[in-house]
């Protein structure tokens, strides 16, 4: 599991996703950490942090779906 410092470093490499997460979760770092490190079914049981290491578009797509309510 990724620690908070590692997650911050990862998100700093992806400023658009970092901004979306901060907007979505009102800058609450604890909530962002939990969301990023909890496995998600749309990501085939992987965590957003794991997926972000290899495919940032999948994480961005998931954030967009949540933002727009499109869970198809």
Each residue's pLDDT expressed in tens, for the chain with a length of 72 residues: 789 999 999 999 999 999 999 999 999 999 999 999 999 999 999 999 999 999 999 999 999 999 998 766
Q: What is the pLDDT of residue 72?
A: 63
Structural domains in the chain (count): 1
pTM confidence score: 0.90
Rg (CA), the chain: 11
From residue 10, alpha-carbon distances to 7, 68, 70, 71, 72 in Å are 5, 25, 26, 26, 28
């Amino acid at each position: 599991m990724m620690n908070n410092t590692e997650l911050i470093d990862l998100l700093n490499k992806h400023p658009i996703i970092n901004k979306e997460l901060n907007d979505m979760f009102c800058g609450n770092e604890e909530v962002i950490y939990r969301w990023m490190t909890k496995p998600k079914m749309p990501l085939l049981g992987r965590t957003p942090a794991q997926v972000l290491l290899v495919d940032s578009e999948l994480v961005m797509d998931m954030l967009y779906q949540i933002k727009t309510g499109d869970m198809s």
